[in-house]
Structure 1
């Protein structure tokens, strides 16, 4: 949600300052791409502890549970 608000404010600021529409679209696309990328990085950091727990669980299952059968 923060990403969308940032991009909308960014576009409005460019339009108020009198920049051409082509520049506004290019800047909006670039800002949207950067914010989406940063949002994905934030999501990965947020779920990183669960990814580590899952990786340890898979390693434990492969090395201790599955080989004993």
Structure 2
């Protein structure tokens, strides 16, 4: 799917700029940008379950730590 996006962006840029050396450079640049963005989005979705797991673990740890701190404060009085 990502390769198809690359080819489409490459072809669209070549159509708009014409087939020249400058047009080829712009097409390669546009293809690189499309591939880089698609790759970053893919990595984000691949790591999303781990990020959610880390967020839940930190939330639970902070909740437990805050609960213990309040209990200690009430026992000291």
In the superposition, the TM-score normalised over structure 1's length comes to 0.70
CA separation in 2, counterparts of 1:25 and 1:58?
A: 46
The equivalent residue for 1:58 is 58
**Structure whose CA Rg is larger:** 2
Runs of 4+ aligned structure 1 residues displaced above 4 Å come to none
Long gaps (5+) in structure 2: 70-77
Partner Cα separation in structure 1 for residue 58 and residue 24 of structure 2: 48
Higher helix proportion? 2
**Which structure is higher in RCO with an 8 Å CA cutoff and minimum separation 6?**
1
Alignment RMSD: 2.4
Corresponding pairs, count: 58
